[in-house]
Amino acid sequence: MSSYRGGHGGGRGGFLSHHNKRPFHDDRGRGGGGGRGGGQGGGRGGGGRGRGYGNTSRPTECDVFMNYMALNVIDTTKEFDIVMFKVVIQDAEWVDKVDPETGAPIINPATDKPLRICKPREIKRSDDDEVSKRRFFAKPIPWRIMKKLVSDQVAIDPNFVLDYDGAERAIAPSNSAIPKDGAEYAVCVKRDCEEDDPDADRVKNRRFFVTLTKTHSIPFATLRAAISGGDAQASGHTIDELAAAINIILKSTAIFQGMIPLSPQSSAVAFPLAQQSKLSNNRMIDTFDKTKVLLSGVTQSAIFSGSAGHGAYIQTDPVVEWFDKEYFRVDGGDDRNRVPLLRKEHGRLSIAGVDIGGDGHHPITDATLLSKIESALSKIRINIYYTIRKIDEKREQALRDKGLSEKERNERRRKAFKDQALSFDKDAKSKGHKMKILRSASDPDVFSFEMRDGERVTVASYYWEKYGIGLEYPNLPLIYLGRPGWFPIEFAHQSFAKTREANAQEMIDKVLKYYDGIAGTRLSDDVINKQHALSTLIDRNGVCTSERLGWYNISIESKPIVLKARVLKEPTIKFQGNVRGCKNGSFNLMGVVFPRGATINSFVVVDFSHKKGLCEEYVDTLLRVSESHGIQIPSLVKEIGPRHATVHYNGRNAVDDSLEVVREAIEKARHVYLRDSEGVFRGNHVWFQTRAFNEKEIEVEALILPPQDEGGPEGLILEYNNNVEYYYTHRIQTEKDMYARLMVRIKETETLIDPFDFRFQRDRLGGHHQALKRFGNDERWMNVTFVSHVYQCKDKSIVEVADVKSFSYVYLAKDWDVDFPSLILAFLPDADKAMYDRIKYVSNICGGIQSQCAVAKKYSSQGNRKDQYASNIAIKINTKLSTGFEKAVAWESSFGGNSVDAVAWVGECPTLVIGIGMAHGMGASSDTVVSAYTNLDAGCMRLSSSCFVQAKQDVITDDVMKDIFQESLRQYCNDNGFNPKRILVYRDGMSDGNFTRADDEIASIRKVFQDPNCKCKAGCVCCNPPITYIICQSQHHVRMVPSNESQGFGSRGGTNVHAGTVLDHTIMQLGTKLRIADDDVESIRESNGDKVIFGTNDGASDDFFLTAHGGLKGTSKPIYYRVRLNENAVWGPCGGTALTKQNIEDCTNQMSYKYGTATKAVRDVPVVKYSKRLSNQVLGQLKYLREVSRWPNRTYELVQDRPDDEGDRRSYLKVTKEDGTVLNQYNIVEMPFRNHLAA
């Protein structure tokens, strides 16, 4: 029996909070798939299904090549110490040697002049001047000093050995000639170039004073034990100490052998220029720019694993880096082969690549052009060359008297200033004060200076009169290079240095092309070739790399190791009425309906493409495709959005105007949706439906009642769900005042229809009304005929609208937070990041409104694949608009035949899974943004987020960590109605050196879950849920590829390991995991709570490498998961099981398929991937909050808390409402209406 029901059941009401934060993701409709990762591509994936090549069968295990070479001991009987020194480098000066008793200078009898000695300057580099120290060690001169020191000492004693790390440490084997404790050395080096530079004889010397102080020694027996897999720490030395010693040897050996350091703090080095053409897969000659070269190199580091039998390896990974050429020919050449900064090609002049046009005979007066030139020059190092033409006969004769030939005298007339940088003229008396570049070398009004005789001259006239050099382009700019002074641009040439900002698309493409050439199984050959090239390099003393390593009694295997890895199961992907499998981690959406589709209650369109027709086509396509996937869009909303809530921008400065354009679109939509200015709802006897939150954060479905007059407020009809409080909609006046609910009368039944069970559906004939009808437990919309609106009182009495003299709304929209608009659709002309960030600024900070971007250029290029492009965007929208009521998801997954859409282990009992990511400000920025994403269900696909700002540091402060978990716990409880019983944390961005500080972060977590009835003061194992804390390392140089093509999955980019390949043995680094105290286990055992003991506390490593994604191009790069703490392996709640290593691996792999906007497994576990992207985007948006940002009804300002406490300083968002009320949010992301914040 069927019946029309008078009211529609509501959602959970009181449990759902709207304090859930906006997500960040790059949603410009570029398809699914993981990012490029780092280093060798990280498996640059495309979207959709992918395409298989070669052997695509899926094994359960495979042999993988690792870029690890075994580190061996040459002679196991040798005994010596590895001596560590602290290195202090100071500027030196020549001073008179004095008698210590009298203080008088000591006279040299042979010359009758005072004896001179080299001593440190009185003004030393202060140990507390960290900035000055970092700048010094960032330059090449420390290496130059130490290489010269070693060279000088080897000339005295061939057995002298010393290796250096580029900063403040050096080591040497005790069985060779090594420095004494406190040894002092005076070293003279070329200030601005290498000792063997062709121009070295024209570069000034600089003296330094080096002191070597012995700090400690490491017995070789300790190193030998670690290499054999024994316990090195028994001797009191840590694994970190041993690894640091080996890394110093590796880096020092490489650079002393002529390798080029790529970064002061990095182990990466490039092969010498003479070697580059001999390396396999080297594409350095194939460059798009004659002034730059792509150099090939390696990075090496020591790994100690503690594996029985063999516990030490050298990790070797190929790297490439762009460098600015000094000579057009990479192997050098003469003066004519140098790269000038002023170049003429195809009849046009350019300076540092900036086209200046013209013939160069007129000054550059365009300030914008001068600024571009200055910017280009600031990014390169500069050499100055000129030759004196005017011969000084007196000087020439003196040179002849010294026996110099004509060629040698000509060389003396050639001047060189090497490796200079553009800088400001700090001379307050100079015309160029505070300038880096001036427009002309010959205009006295621009720049001139006074000679000793009082005459003022220009730079051009100076060089003519003093040196006989006539400038070819005297009207072109002057540049200032610090101590050398002002120089004409035609003297300037490019210096050899690493390219700054090597982010031009052509440069990126070349790097990717290089890595693609050595991708997959081809990587092993490249690693072997580069290791061989490195081992055969010979230094200036004729010593090869292998011999240098032999000084420390170690050697490196020539071939990498091959290990056995497991391949984890792929899931079955479930849609509504459809099941699909995965192919190497990928699946597709074509023709599927989402299991639970979201609802787009309202949307606005902002079009920046200047292509109105294309935008309209895109919106129509998107709405059509979204509906085909099961996303609900009310028919009147589909009509309103494109016609009445769209703004087409026609200006020229979209980035600056974007905020105002979005405001205009929202205001326009406010009139048409909330105020029904077009009469779309009123004319069809229905109301705009959305959601609203009251001051108690209770969410209810709501219909908007348009204002009674132009300036009046909007009202609300609330879905009451038997909640009497929300039943009434109007206060009406007839013969008496009464409260009533607005209802709908239809022709088909005498039963009144609740407004939430009545709608209007547009069709080809104009449209029809529908009412919701119930058939047992099923519901169905049926076509009906509208008769009228009426009022129904609590006693079921009916009042006709015509009988009402006046009325007012019971609930006003202004008293509630109304979800409006649900979505901003932004149509961008291209993938410009600045434009994208501005749109996201509205979502994350100001409006609390979800936004979805699409790129006109990308959409128009799709051809007949526009529906697929729209599908990619539809899954993003479905993810963003998922609420606690709908719980929308685009797909569900199951592993091993399990029908439950829950992640392994997580679904056993309430488990809080949280991912934390960080982003640090560059340069002088003093902020670090910390974001977190938390699961709201056992499927880990519905997430909520939070975001905080702290003082710049790698470790999360106590306050911020507590804020993160308090917010995450609140959101989890609001959505589920209960507390989690265990915690699984994925922490991104922590280096090996900070692992011990992770313990402080764990302590902060315990404080949040502290039981007030427990005796502990800051949380303990008894009152806390068990915690598993996993550090996710993505910035590493580990490569895991199939040992041969039959072992992997082939694609056009090469053969990579299968998606879900995991390695958890042999090469796992030592020193990661905290051992759980036996006392803690006993405390749990004796607590008589709801926790059970699973097993013993063996302290074995749970670390593993996981390549969750399938790489289509480049070499798939795994994530290194370092398990710092795993209490869940030892105890847990009743009903749960132990979190074993295999459970962690399965759990992490399964979550990789839960990234709500990519139809594939992603590289990072999604809770971390979302967090990192949110942190990076908010970091870019902080600049907009330095000043007050205004938005309708409120203003936003970023304010510092405790500004004087640099360590604990953090920022909060000061929100000032229209009525002057101030809300201070440490969680700086605006509170939205969504409970699912992925994509």
pLDDT, one tens digit per residue, over 17-36 is 333 333 333 444 433 333 33
209: left (phi over 0), alpha (psi -120 to 50) or beta: beta
In 697-805, where do the E strands start and end?
699-705, 715-718, 730-733, 737-746, 758-761, 768-775, 778-784, 786-793, 798-800
CA gap 1114, 515 in Å, rounded: 6
- What pairs with residue 1055 in β-bridges? 1050
Are the C-beta atoms of 476 and 364 separated by less than 8 Å? yes
Alpha helices for 174-320 (secondary structure H) = 220-227, 239-256, 273-276
Please tell me the predicted confidence (pLDDT) of residue 1230. Answer: 59
Give tens-digit pLDDT for 277-313. 777 555 554 555 689 999 999 999 999 987 877 889 9
pLDDT at 1088 exceeding the cut of 70: no
CA gap 819, 834 in Å, rounded: 27
Please tell me the predicted confidence (pLDDT) of residue 1180. Answer: 83
Average pLDDT of the chain to the nearest whole number = 86
Give tens-digit pLDDT for 360-374. 889 999 999 999 999
Please tell me the predicted confidence (pLDDT) of residue 898. Answer: 62
3-state secondary structure of 960: helix
DSSP 1128-1156: GGTEEETT-----HHHHHHHHHHHTT--T
Please tell me the predicted confidence (pLDDT) of residue 86. Answer: 96
614 token code pair? 């294309």
Q: What is the mean pLDDT of residues 628-645?
A: 92
pLDDT at 745 exceeding the cut of 90: yes
pLDDT at 1122 exceeding the cut of 90: yes
Q: 570: exposed, middle or buried (C-beta count within 10 Å: 0-12, 13-18, 19+)? A: buried
Are the C-beta atoms of 169 and 75 separated by less than 8 Å? no
pLDDT at 1078 exceeding the cut of 90: no
- What pairs with residue 769 in β-bridges? 760, 784
Give tens-digit pLDDT for 959-984. 999 999 999 999 899 888 899 999 99
CA gap 1159, 1163 in Å, rounded: 13
Give tens-digit pLDDT for 60-87. 999 999 999 999 999 999 999 999 999 9
Share of the chain above pLDDT 70, in %: 90
Q: What's the pTM?
A: 0.88
CA dihedral 861, 864, 867, 871 (to 10 degrees): -60
Give which of 1066, 1075, 1131, 1124 is closest to 1099, Cα–Cα.
Answer: 1075
CA gap 458, 487 in Å, rounded: 11
Give tens-digit pLDDT for 907-947. 999 999 999 999 998 866 688 999 999 999 999 999 988 99
Written in H, E and C, the secondary structure of 524-583 is: HHHHHHHHHHHHCCECCCCCEHHHHHHCCCEEECCCCCEEEEEECCCCEEEECCEEECCE
pLDDT confidence bin for 1100, thresholds 50/70/90: confident
Contacts of 573 (CB under 8 A, 6+ apart): 579, 580, 581, 582, 587, 891, 892, 893, 1153
Largest CA distance in the chain: 128
Q: What is the mean pLDDT of residues 1154-1163?
A: 92
DSSP 8-state secondary structure symbol assigned to residue 725: G
Give tens-digit pLDDT for 142-169. 999 999 999 999 999 999 999 999 999 9
Q: What is the mean pLDDT of residues 982-992?
A: 93
Give tens-digit pLDDT for 663-701. 899 899 999 999 999 999 999 999 999 988 877 777 889
Distance between start and end Cα atoms, the chain: 44
